[in-house]
Amino acid sequence: MRYALIAVVFAASPAALAAELPADAVLAPALTQMQPAARTMPAIVARFRADNDSVEHVFEIAAGPGRQAALAGLYRSWQQRLAQIDGNALGLEDSIDHLLFARTLEQRLRMLAFAAKRFAQAEPLLPGVRDLLLLLEARRQGEVQHGRETADRLDAVRRALAKRTAALDSDGLTPARSRAVLVRAASIADGVRGSLKDWFDYYADFDPELNWWLRSPWQALDEQLQTSSKALRLAAGASDEETIVGDPIGRDALVQGLADEMIPYSPEQLMQLAERELAWGEGELSKAAAELGYADWHQALEQVKGMYVAPGQQTALARSLAQEAVAFLDQHDLVTVPALARIDWRMNMLSPQAQLQAPFFLGGEDVWVASPTAEMAHQRKLMTLRGNNRYFSRAVVHHELIPGHHLQHFYGQRYNPERQLFQTPFWSEGWSLYWELRLWDMGFAHTPEERIGMLFWRNHRAARILFSLGFHLGKVSPEQAIEMLVQRVGHERDNAAAEVRRSFAGDYPPLYQAGYLLGGLQLQALQREIVGSGKMTDRAFHDAILRGGPMPIEMVRARLLAQPPAADFAPSWRFYPLPANVP
């Protein structure tokens, strides 16, 4: 299939490709770029990734005790192997990989312990669930199930669950039984229920005796798990799928997470940074609004929101905006965009359900477009149109495609693919956000409307730092986060709720939302240090980051400055100046 695609690209008519491929873009990268000097660590990291995939392939049950033990054993065995390699004796690239691999293993062990602690907090609400996890894991180990004995186990769990669920109304909320813990328990019940259906189907398909014994107790337990999940969500006040609860991790876990990301600032300092950035953005919005004749930037923002394309035209807009961004990069020789990277992305549409958490564009290998559908309520249609207007979309398309996530994905498949193990939002989202900062500095926004579109997203990222860190510190509620996005950024209320829901649903790590602007500011500071001093051109700088692969930005800096990290490395790069009075 891949060779067929290449044939299509290079055998297509010249007229079809003329608009896509610059004359010199089909030339392959230099051989030295494709075949870097021999290194030690890539093969070691690749071996670990293969081992990890094997363990997770067999021990696939989330929260299963066998999975926890197997992964912990794997990580510790690799720590012992890695300790036999002297990182200080390695070259630059290998020394970076050695340090990052060691930190990754430490981080994964901590995450296992943290997950086990959170499971233990929820387990009293789900008596017998551990026994079910053992049953589910036994299937993957090929253990024989005994019909009567297993049926008794299923029935015992059902009765225990029914008794515990019946007592939920009289328990009340406590610190150990918070809304977050209740919803966490409900999610565990949902996951176990789905896995248990697969487990039963597996046995029922080939063992008539087990089918005879297990069908009735399994069906009763399946219904009880569903009942328990609904009751837990009801007790948490979260029976509506649009209700936002979240599960804050606390300050200690935030501090540890920042250390893992090599960010030498406290959560409170980063909130001060975000407040400064948001205040700057509000000031710039006021300047753009004044050019449009408005005294209040909220009024100017309302005008921009009304500048949306007709239903059905959003994909055509996205394509034209993608071409505009690539032309700007070419004009200023900012980054190498290979010919195939310009055309190997597809357009997809976000479903109405998906837009409850992602009301704007998403991207990566492809681009996902948010656009109202016929079955949406009238007000939601309007909010979707307004939230994806021409100028908001202009600031998002290059974030998702080129030079943003699509270009990252393209390079990531071809250069240092083993470093996907070191993936971090400060690199992935930071790269795309950096380009929003860089293009702003280069005058990509010409009109007040275009500046307002870019400022909306920049302010949104600053607010994300404030509300996400504030939430995990216990200082900001989901409702306050929504209000912040409406009042200080200018979101449509439904879109603001979707953004907060996405942030707190548990699908993203706690520092993910902060990684956008913080990673972008790190790369901006690094660009000014390296390109501003004449050490590299813009194009060489950006190409080097893409070819280097994902890693914390302080390690990107060490790599580009050719400074191998010592074995006792500690984060120290102060990429953002804060006032002396900030603790």
Confidence of residue 562 (pLDDT cuts 50, 70, 90): very high
Confidence of residue 22 (pLDDT cuts 50, 70, 90): very low
Give CA torsion, residues 391, 395, 396, 398, to 10 deg: 130
Are 418 and 46 contacting, i.e. CB atoms less than 8 angstroms apart?
yes
Nearest 5°: phi and psi at 508?
A: -120, 150
Confidence of residue 277 (pLDDT cuts 50, 70, 90): very high
| pLDDT at res. 356 | 60
Mean pLDDT of 251-270: 96
Q: Using DSSP, state whether 351 is helix, strand or coil.
A: coil
pLDDT at 187 over 70: yes
Among the residue ranges 73-77, 167-171, 361-365, 531-535, the one predicted with the least confidence is: 361-365
List 363's β-bridge partners, or say none. Answer: 367
Distance CA 60, CA 134 (A): 12
Classify 423 in phi/psi space as left (phi over 0), alpha (psi -120 to 50) or beta. Answer: beta
Q: Using DSSP, state whether 568 is helix, strand or coil.
A: coil
| pLDDT at res. 23 | 37
Distance CA 253, CA 285 (A): 35
Q: Which of 387, 367, 422 is nearest to 495 (CA)?
A: 387
| pLDDT at res. 148 | 92
| pLDDT at res. 375 | 75
Confidence of residue 24 (pLDDT cuts 50, 70, 90): very low
pLDDT at 16 over 70: no
Q: Residues 138-163: pLDDT tens digits?
A: 988 888 888 899 999 999 999 999 99
Are 271 and 469 contacting, i.e. CB atoms less than 8 angstroms apart?
yes
Distance CA 181, CA 567 (A): 39
Prior bond to 175 cis, omega within 30?
no
Q: Residues 313-337: pLDDT tens digits?
A: 777 888 888 899 999 999 999 999 9
Among the residue ranges 303-307, 354-358, 436-440, 447-451, the one predicted with the least confidence is: 354-358
Residues, the chain: 583
Mean pLDDT of 80-103: 95
Q: Among positive and negative, which fits the CA dihedral 260, 265, 267, 273?
A: negative
Prior bond to 403 cis, omega within 30?
yes
> Between 164 and 28, where is the model more confident?
164
Q: Which of 471, 337, 467 is nearest to 411 (CA)?
A: 337
Encoded amino acid at 566, one letter: A
Mean pLDDT of the chain, nearest integer: 88
> Between 203 and 548, where is the model more confident?
548
